[in-house]
C-alpha cells in the first residue's frame, strides 16, 4: 500500500507491505524490514536491522507526532486542495469524490444523499492509526451518493462520498 505524507512539511512517499509477519517499508531512502509490537496505546516497539527502537506516537487533527530516541518529527496528511499528488488522489482529482486518506474504520457518516453541504461541513470520520480523520466539504455541493456505512472498514483512497458541486 502506498502512502504520501508531509514529514516536517516536506512530501514523502512510503510503500508498506506486511509479509510473513514483518513490515516492509520502502521510501526514497531505501527498504527497511521491521518487526513491530505495541506495548501500550501510544508506544510502538520496532526492531530494525538488529536494533530496537521505542517509538512514541501522538495525534492531533491530521498530524501525527512521532518521537524515536532523541529525534522528533511530524507526519501530516496533506490538506484537501494542496498540490500534493496524494491529496489529488484522495480528493478524486476535483471530481467531487471524497476518499479515505488511508485504511481505517468509518466511525461516523454525517450526511445523507440529497443533502446540501457548505465548505467546512463534516461529511464523514475515519479512524486510522488510532486517530480520527474528519473528511470535510471544500465546496458548496449536494451529496450525490454515500458509498460507506458506519462501522465499515475502508482501504486508502476508497470512495466515501460523492458530491455534486454546485459552487465554491
What pLDDT digit, counting tens, does each position of 58-69 carry?
766 667 778 887
Using an 8 Å Cβ cutoff, are 160 and 103 in contact?
no
- Environment class of residue 161 by beta-carbon count within 10 Å: exposed (0-12), middle (13-18) or buried (19+)? buried
% the chain with pLDDT above 70: 83
- Environment class of residue 77 by beta-carbon count within 10 Å: exposed (0-12), middle (13-18) or buried (19+)? buried
Domain with CATH 3.30.700.30 in the chain: 2-76
Residue-wise pLDDT for 30-66, tens only, equals 898 888 887 776 788 888 888 998 888 876 666 777 8
On whether the 85-167 domain is CATH 2.30.42.10, my answer is: no
Averaged pLDDT for residues 91-108: 73
- pLDDT at residue 28 tops 60: yes
pTM: 0.49
CATH architecture of structural domain 2-76: 2-Layer Sandwich (3.30)
Amino acid at each position: 500500500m502506498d502512502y504520501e505524507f508531509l514529514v516536517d512539511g516536506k512530501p514523502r512517499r512510503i510503500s508498506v507491505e506486511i509479509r510473513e509477519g514483518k513490515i516492509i517499508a520502502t521510501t526514497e531512502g531505501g527498504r527497511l524490514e521491521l518487526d513491530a509490537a505495541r506495548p501500550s496505546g501510544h508506544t510502538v516497539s520496532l526492531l530494525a536491522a538488529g536494533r530496537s527502537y521505542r517509538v512514541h506516537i501522538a495525534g492531533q487533527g491530521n498530524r501525527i507526532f512521532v518521537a524515536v530516541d532523541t529525534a522528533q518529527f511530524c507526519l501530516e496528511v496533506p490538506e484537501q486542495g494542496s498540490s500534493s499528488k496524494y491529496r489529488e488522489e484522495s480528493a478524486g482529482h476535483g471530481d467531487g469524490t471524497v476518499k479515505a486518506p488511508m485504511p481505517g474504520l468509518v466511525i461516523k457518516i454525517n450526511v445523507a444523499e440529497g443533502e446540501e453541504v457548505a465548505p467546512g461541513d463534516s461529511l464523514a470520520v475515519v479512524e486510522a492509526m488510532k486517530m480520527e480523520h474528519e473528511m470535510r466539504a471544500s465546496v458548496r455541493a449536494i451529496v450525490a451518493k454515500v458509498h460507506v456505512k458506519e462501522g465499515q472498514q475502508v482501504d486508502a483512497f476508497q470512495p466515501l462520498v460523492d458530491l455534486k458541486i454546485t459552487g465554491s
